């Protein structure tokens, strides 16, 4: 028989960790915004400034996945970002899922945990490792050009609650 506390634990451990990353790093542009050459400027409306690609995240299926599911809003997916020096990505983690160590050479990364708990870390240029456990709605900065990673923490959260 399930006790009420078991139900709470299951709810927590099945919760999907998600977060938002914001990056920046281009030189300033000389106009308000840039319109790609493939687009007729007279057709630019409020839609050009709107990205709806994250709506599909609600339907994401992480069954059988080990790495984070990454959905990007960069200038490729969201052309208004050309020249604006910023982009955003959302990551959904399966239980204990990871975003393996990687580098962004041109920009820092600001990470906002929207739900759940996440272990993050980076190595600085003197080889010092900084590891932190974050909980929604914590914010963490990965400095530009340093190797960094994220790992979902629910396995540990579950253990803690069981003890």
Ligand X SMILES: *[C@@H]1O[C@H](CO)[C@@H](O)[C@H](O)[C@H]1NC(C)=O
User: Is 127 marked as a binding-site residue?
Assistant: no
Q: Is 130 exposed, middle or buried (0-12, 13-18, 19+ CB in 10 A)?
A: middle
Which CB atom, from 18 or from 87, has the smaller least distance to ligand X?
18
Nearer to ligand X, 41 or 64 (CB): 64
**Backbone angle region of 25, left / alpha / beta, with phi > 0 → left and psi within -120 to 50 → alpha:** left
Q: Find the part of the chain contacting ligand X (CB under 6 A) among 10-18, 49-57, 60-68, 127-135.
A: 60-68
- The verdict on whether residue 102 carries a ligand-binding annotation is yes
Q: Is 127 in the site for ligand X (CB under 6 A)?
A: no
Positions in 62-81 near ligand X (CB under 6 A): 63-64
Q: Is 99 annotated as a binding residue?
A: yes
56 near ligand X, judged by CB under 6 A? no
Continuous segment of H or E residues that includes residue 51 = none
Task: Give the span between the Cα atoms of 157 and 24, in whole angstroms.
Answer: 32
DSSP 80: G
Residues 6+ apart with CB under 8 A from 123: 129, 130, 146, 147, 148
Question: With 0-12 CB in 10 A as exposed, 13-18 as middle and 19+ as buried, what is 21?
Answer: buried
Annotate 135-152 with DSSP letters as a single string.
Answer: ETT-EEEE-TT--EEEEE
Is 109 annotated in a binding site? The answer is yes
Q: Which is nearer to ligand X, 61 or 126 (CB)?
A: 61
Q: Does 125 bind ligand X (CB under 6 A)?
A: no
Task: Provide, rounded to whole angstroms, the least separation between the CB of residue 62 and ligand X.
Answer: 8
Known binding-site positions for Mn(2+): 102, 104, 109, 148
Can you say which residues are annotated as belonging to the binding site for oxalate?
A: 99, 104, 109
User: Which stretches of the chain bind ligand X, using CB under 6 A?
Assistant: 61, 63-64
């Amino acid at each position: 028989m399930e006790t009420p506390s078991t139900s709470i634990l299951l709810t927590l451990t099945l919760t999907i960790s998600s977060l938002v990353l914001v990056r920046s790093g281009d030189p300033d542009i000389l106009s308000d915004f840039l319109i790609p050459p493939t687009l007729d400027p007279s057709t630019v409306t409020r839609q050009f400034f709107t990205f709806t690609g994250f709506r599909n995240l609600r339907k994401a299926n992480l069954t059988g996945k080990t790495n984070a599911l990454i959905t990007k809003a960069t200038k490729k997916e969201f052309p208004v970002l050309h020249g604006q020096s910023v982009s955003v990505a959302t990551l959904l983690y399966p239980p204990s899922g990871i975003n393996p160590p990687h580098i962004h050479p041109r920009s820092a990364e600001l990470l906002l945990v929207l739900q759940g708990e996440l272990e993050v870390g980076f190595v600085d240029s003197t080889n010092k490792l900084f590891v932190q456990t974050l909980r929604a709605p914590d914010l963490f900065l990965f400095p530009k050009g340093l190797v960094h990673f994220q790992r979902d923490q629910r396995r540990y959260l579950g253990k803690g609650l069981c003890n």
